[in-house]
Structure 1
Amino acid sequence: MPVPGQPLRRLGFLTIGLFDPADPAAGHRATLEVIELGEQLGFDSAWLRHRHLQYGISSPIAMMAAAGQRTSQIELGTAVTPLGWENPLRLAEDLATVDLLSGGRINPGISVGPPMQYEHLKAALYPDTAEVEDFSYTRVERLLAFVEGRTASTFAGRQGFEEFSDRVQPYSPGLRARMWYGAGSLRSARWAGEHVMNLLSSSVVFAEPGGATDFAEIQREQIVAFRAAHPAGPSARVSQGLVVIPTDSATAEQRAKYEAYVQARTPRTAGPQGPRGMLFARDLIGSSAQIAEQLFAHAGFREVDEVAFALPFSFEPADYVQILTDIATRLGPALGWRPAA
């Protein structure tokens, strides 16, 4: 666990990629520029959220393909792709294609469950099969099988002038080992471990009935349960994704905006929300030294050696430049991180 003197091994960031519907191209280009900046600053990874029927990135795979051609080292991931929107076979094809084009830098993070607002959009998404679609872990298992090259068709061979494979093509060696699951409960954390995935633990967890109600402790319990179920045990990969906003080089105007943003979001962290007991982590704001001190005291953070800090949703490009620069040059080093040579 990273404590003073034991370095954070990998540093990443996560962005939602918001855009103005009146000029969506500009927002997408700005996200690509943020990823390019991340590579220049030495970040190990950049992660993209999915936002369907909203004003954020709806096609992270296309964005990763574009980013892969603009960069050469930084790893590119999704945190997360909700599989309820996807056909696992087609998704496996796209992921392998982009992974090969990027030189093996793709880290697909996925989750299961019905799509958000499903009652309102199911007729458009699955007009003929909406009532029988399987949104369980089985959907993940199908994707994993296709990614690792298991049989997808009962036919292989030549037909006329065309050659057919019984497995998803192209096949990208190593991609299966870079598949991540976005878990928020003990059950999903254990499932991810049992299925030899990596674990994405974000700023949202679900409290267990009668269990702990402290976010950091719940996150710690889930990470421990994941590793207990994973064949790699203590060395199984886990990435934590809290919102951190260092203000070291921020202007007075930026600090005021950041503080107002955090203040507006803090009430939701007071206790479990809704029937499932959803808990939100507090956003961490302050100098890099102050944030590092809070992280070293965080039970969840103390279990990981890699992070993908989430950028706030609604800030301006100049704000992201300041935040990423402070993370890479001040907060990361305060946590013992150094960019790869």
Structure 2
Amino acid sequence: MPQQGAPLRRMGFLTIGSFDPADPRPGHESTLRVVELGERLGFDSAWLRHRHLQPGISSPVAVLAALTQRTTRIHLGTAVTPLGWENPLRLAEDLGTVDVLAGGRLQPGVSVGPPMQFEHVKSSLYPDTADVEDFGYERVLRLHRFLRGDEASDVAGTQGVEVFSDRVEPHSPGLADRLWYGGASLRSAQWTGQQGLHLLASSVVRAEDGSTDFPTIQAAHLHAYRELNPTGRTSQGLVVIPTDSASAAQRERYRAYVEHRSARVGVPQGPGRLLFAQDLLGTSAELAERLWADAGFQLVEEVVFALPFGFEHEDYVQILTDMATHLGPRLGWTPATG
């Protein structure tokens, strides 16, 4: 397990892909360019958030398909796709297609639970089956089985002029072994470890056992996962904003953004009692010191730093460049090449 000064093995970033609903193309194009930049800077991975009925990427799979044609090395992931919105068989077809196009670079991350705002969207999403849909872990296992190549139909072979397969096509060998689960509770961390999946630890956890200390709770999740799956991968995702090369105007906007979001830190939110991590803002030297002191960061060997919402393209260029050239090296990370 890494200690202060030990090298960070992999560094990635996560974006929501914000856009203007009145003119969505520039925002999507910005996301593509940001990932292209990430590859040039040597990031190991780029991940897309999933947003429905909001001005953020609603179809990461489609955007990732485009990125397979504009990148050659960087791994491409989703963090996370909420399976309550998805049919696991159809999603397996999409993920298999993108992984084939990417040459085996896809890192799909998923979560379960009822869709956000379910009471307001269920008549559109599941007009006939809303009351009987299972939004639990079995949805992940179905997806995993289909990605693995397990039987999806009891028909295989040639019928007339049509050829049928009993598994999802295209099948991409190895994709099932790259499935991640985004867990925010101790139960989810333990379940993920038991299933042999990889664990995405994000900037959100559930307040459990009366504690509201985010790093302590997250560290407990990571410990529990590791006890059950010693060889699985774990990744931490915090909002991290380096300011080394930022202009005065950028630093002021970043400070205002962090201050606006800080009021919720340490205070359980909503019926799920969600706790949000403190956004990290400062020079790379300051950020590295804070990360090494973070109980969760001390337990992972790779990170997916989340980009803040709603910034300008030039801001993301500055933030990613500072991450790759200043923060990463202070954490012992070496940019990927080739």
Q: TM-score scaled to structure 1, two decimals? A: 0.97
Q: After the TM superposition, which parts of structure 1 deviate over 6 Å for at least 4 consecutive aligned residues?
A: none
The alpha carbon displacement at 1:270 in A equals 2.8
| CA-to-aligned-CA distance 1:29-51 (integer Å, 9 cap, x gap) | 11000000000100000000011
The alpha carbon displacement at 1:154 in A equals 1.2
Match of 1:298, as an amino acid? Answer: D
SS of structure 2 residue aligned to 1:70: coil
- Alignment correspondent of 2:194: 194
- Alignment correspondent of 2:316: 320
- Name the CA distance, whole Å, in 1 between partners of 2:187 and 2:134: 18
The alpha carbon displacement at 1:309 in A equals 0.1
- Alignment correspondent of 1:229: 228
- Alignment correspondent of 1:132: 132
- Alignment correspondent of 1:273: 269
* Aligned partners of 1:203 and 1:280 also within 8 Å: yes
- Name the CA distance, whole Å, in 1 between partners of 2:276 and 2:323: 22
- Alignment correspondent of 2:153: 153
- Name the CA distance, whole Å, in 1 between partners of 2:273 and 2:126: 30
> 1:213-224 counterparts in 2 under 5 A?
213-224=212-223
Match of 2:147, as an amino acid? Answer: V
RMSD across aligned C-alpha pairs, in angstroms? 0.9
- Name the CA distance, whole Å, in 1 between partners of 2:118 and 2:268: 24
Query: Is 1:47 aligned to 2:43, yes or no?
Result: no
SS of structure 1 residue aligned to 2:321: helix
- Name the CA distance, whole Å, in 1 between partners of 2:287 and 2:100: 37
> 1:163-178 counterparts in 2 under 5 A?
163-178=163-178
- Name the CA distance, whole Å, in 2 between partners of 1:271 and 1:21: 32
Aligned pairs, number: 337
- Name the CA distance, whole Å, in 2 between partners of 1:81 and 1:189: 17
- Name the CA distance, whole Å, in 2 between partners of 1:141 and 1:19: 33
The alpha carbon displacement at 1:71 in A equals 0.3
| CA-to-aligned-CA distance 1:122-153 (integer Å, 9 cap, x gap) | 11111111111110111111100100011111
Query: Is 1:249 aligned to 2:245, yes or no?
Result: yes
SS of structure 1 residue aligned to 2:93: helix
Residue identity (%): 66
The alpha carbon displacement at 1:3 in A equals 2.8
The alpha carbon displacement at 1:271 in A equals 2.4
- Name the CA distance, whole Å, in 1 between partners of 2:193 and 2:64: 26
- Alignment correspondent of 1:304: 300
The alpha carbon displacement at 1:229 in A equals 1.7
- Alignment correspondent of 1:289: 285
- Name the CA distance, whole Å, in 1 between partners of 2:174 and 2:65: 18
* Aligned partners of 1:111 and 1:181 also within 8 Å: yes
- Alignment correspondent of 1:260: 256
* Aligned partners of 2:212 and 2:266 also within 8 Å: no
Q: Which runs of 5+ in 2 are unaligned?
A: none
Match of 2:222, as an amino acid? Answer: I
* Aligned partners of 2:198 and 2:233 also within 8 Å: yes
* Aligned partners of 1:4 and 1:336 also within 8 Å: no
| CA-to-aligned-CA distance 1:244-276 (integer Å, 9 cap, x gap) | 000000000000000000000001003222333
Q: TM-score scaled to structure 2, two decimals? A: 0.98
* Aligned partners of 1:153 and 1:167 also within 8 Å: yes
Match of 1:335, as an amino acid? Answer: L
| CA-to-aligned-CA distance 1:106-133 (integer Å, 9 cap, x gap) | 0000000111111111111111111111
- Name the CA distance, whole Å, in 2 between partners of 1:170 and 1:275: 41
